[in-house]
Amino acid sequence: MKVFLSGIIQGSHSGTELHDQGYRDELKRLLSQHLPEAEVVCPIDLHPNGIEYDLGQAREAFFSLVEEAASADLVVAYLPEASMGTAIEIWEAHRRGTPVLAITPLRHNWVVNLLAGRAFASVAEFAAFAAEGGLRELVE
């Protein structure tokens, strides 16, 4: 089983600054605890220096990550604010029938409402869902 960990990296920053990526460690911990058999695919783990890529490297990384999301068994998307890359990843996952879970305050966003099977207001709410067996139930 493969879980793709989608989420904001640059967001709307106009330069090379990144959003805090600490959420990834917490989500990987939760997934490991509640779906220990899952391979968690994290874009930052695959491309830790992606912000420094030239256009060719960026193109290759971007399209390979979109394919990873689309071919996963589950996508967990962290969206504290809009993210174009995350939107594309969850769009492609949704088009292929991959379940998408979103962690976001964007409760009125069409992308979230139309593509995510379930949305959680916070990581804590997602953690409670996982602790109650929701992740296990979803993948079985």
Q: Answer whether residue 19 shows pLDDT above 70.
A: no
Which residues on adjacent β-strands are paired with residue 4? 41, 75
pTM listed for this prediction: 0.92
Query: Residue ranges of the domains in the chain?
Result: 2-7+18-127
Taking only the tens place, the pLDDT of each residue in 79-127 is 999 999 999 999 999 999 999 999 999 989 999 999 999 999 999 999 9
How far from 1 is each of 7, 24, 41, 116, 133, CA to CA, in Å?
19, 18, 11, 19, 17
Phi-psi category of 7—alpha, beta or left, where left has phi over 0 and alpha has psi -120 to 50? left
The tokens of 37 are what?
């058999």
Q: Answer whether residue 6 shows pLDDT above 90.
A: yes
Q: In which band, very low, low, confident or very high, does the pLDDT at 13 lie, cut at 50, 70 and 90? A: low
The answer to whether 3 and 31 are in contact (CB under 8 A) is yes
Q: In which band, very low, low, confident or very high, does the pLDDT at 49 lie, cut at 50, 70 and 90? A: confident
Residues recorded for the chain? 140
Q: What is the pLDDT of residue 20?
A: 77
Helices (H), 37-109: 43-46, 55-71, 84-95
Which CATH number applies to 2-7+18-127?
A: 3.40.50.450
